[in-house]
Amino acid sequence: MADAICRLLRPLQSGTEAEILGPGLVREILYRSLCKARAPVLYSLSMHGGAFSQVARASKVIQIDCSAKIDVDQLANMARMSASAFHRAFKEITSDSPMQYLKKVRFTKARNLMVQQNMEACIGRRWGGI
């Protein structure tokens, strides 16, 4: 796989070589990807069906609008699954429950905002004193 990727990067520097050699090298990389242990996951995602793509769709909704009030039933409806099947599939794929995942996304976004805007956290008390 690494060799195929390196061979793809070389012709990308030339428009003609990229046009002629690129599609074949991309096909080789895709083929090698589908031969690996994660092939069923990649296949499911590419077919836009199955639990993997449904969970991916729900996780994308969480990441885009993590500040909204979201519950498991809403996410399960978006994924076209029952709440219990969705919860089980989500945890199997992400290693977190949907609500744990939502909390992690919120904390990560808050941390990024704090770093980008040089802000400090205030937990449990008001600014300016005790």
Q: What tens digit of pLDDT does each residue of 6-18 get?
A: 877 887 777 888 8
Q: Which domain holds residue 6?
A: 2-36
State whether 50 and 107 are in the same domain.
yes
124 in a structural domain: no
State whether 52 and 78 are in the same domain.
yes
Mean pLDDT for all residues in the chain: 81
State whether 112 and 50 are in the same domain.
yes
User: Any idea of the CA torsion for 80, 83, 88, 94, to the nearest 10 degrees?
Assistant: 70
Per residue in 32-73, pLDDT (tens digit) is 877 776 677 666 656 656 777 788 888 888 888 888 898 899
DSSP designation for 124 = S
The Cα 28–Cα 32 span in angstroms is 6
State whether 50 and 112 are in the same domain.
yes
The Cα 84–Cα 118 span in angstroms is 41
Burial of 85 (0-12, 13-18, 19+ CB in 10 A): middle
pTM: 0.56
100 in a structural domain: yes
The Cα 51–Cα 89 span in angstroms is 6
Domain count, the chain: 2
